[in-house]
Amino acid sequence: MIPLPKPPKIINKKNNSATFEIEGLYPGYGVTIGNSLRRVLLSSLEGAAVTKAKIKGVQHEFSTIPGVVEDVITIMMNFKKMRFRLHGDEPQTAYLKVKGLPAGKKDKEIKGSDFEFPTQVELVNKSCHIATITDKKADLEIEIQIERGVGYQPVEQLKKQKKSEVGVLFVDAIFTPVKKVSFRVENMRVGDRTDFDRLYLEITTDGIISPEEAFSLASGILVEHFSLFVESLPLPQREEKEESKDKKSKNSKSGKKESAEKKKKKNSGKAKAKK
């Protein structure tokens, strides 16, 4: 029987980053579990991101906007840095309208907080830089769509899923709330053996969820998959145990029946002898 490890514990935590330690893993299980968790954390957690945008006067991503320092590609890159909490499953739309410069200013920084969001959308990093206006005549109007999704979806995949319209700019969607995952494994002593594994797993999130929540969600996804395998595929050992239990119960029942019959015959014999 393979022994189970100790429950994970947090040995270091700072802001949105935490390091987990799992001790007593069976030899080789450190890499197996660490790599599995890392893959799920980066690819399978749900979040919200900008998937497409419309910018007034812009037909494609290689355009420039008069009076704006950043080109359209850079602005789209900044959209990817915006982190959201989306309440509900339906896509939501946010709007930005900025005209000219404030009096006496040479430029104006446009931040994520300058967008008008519906009540279902909460922007976490409100200071996220979007663009810089340097002209009094500049007119910047942007419409972005925020959707819920899993992991990461490139532009090509989004274009296949949605109808392309004139002036619509699709954005690579980074849905996952996990920014970075790394792990390392070292040997440790368990009893007389020195080849057991100690796993260190470091998780950094974007603040939408905590590292603890991310760890729990990723573990749950793996457990759901393995539970399905266990339930759908019969285990020979279990079948053998059940069969042996059935045989034992049958043997005990038949033994009791035989002893009862012998007792009955014995009693009837005694009765005849008395007669």
Q: Which residues does 28 contact at the CB level (< 8 Å), separation at least 6?
A: 197
As its CATH architecture, domain 46-174 has: Beta Complex (2.170)
What per-residue confidence (pLDDT) applies to 167?
84
Find how far residue 259's CA is from the centre of its chain: 62
Give the whole-angstrom CA distance, residue 248 versus residue 251: 5
What per-residue confidence (pLDDT) applies to 246?
60
What per-residue confidence (pLDDT) applies to 257?
55
With pLDDT > 70 as the criterion, what percentage of the chain qualifies?
A: 84
Overall pTM surpassing 0.85 (yes/no): no
178 and 41 Cβ atoms separated by less than 8 Å: yes
- pLDDT > 60? residue 260: no
**pLDDT tens digits for range 212-252:** 999 999 999 999 999 999 888 876 665 555 556 566 565 55
pLDDT interval class at 14 (50, 70, 90): very high
**pLDDT tens digits for range 40-97:** 999 999 999 999 999 999 988 899 999 999 999 999 999 999 999 999 999 999 999 9
Give the whole-angstrom CA distance, residue 62 versus residue 53: 14
Q: Which residue has the tokens 């053996």?
A: 193
Q: Could you give the residue range(s) of every CATH 3.30.1360.10 domain in the chain?
A: 9-44+177-232
What per-residue confidence (pLDDT) applies to 270?
52
CATH of domain 9-44+177-232: 3.30.1360.10
- pLDDT > 70? residue 205: yes
Give the whole-angstrom CA distance, residue 48 versus residue 7: 31
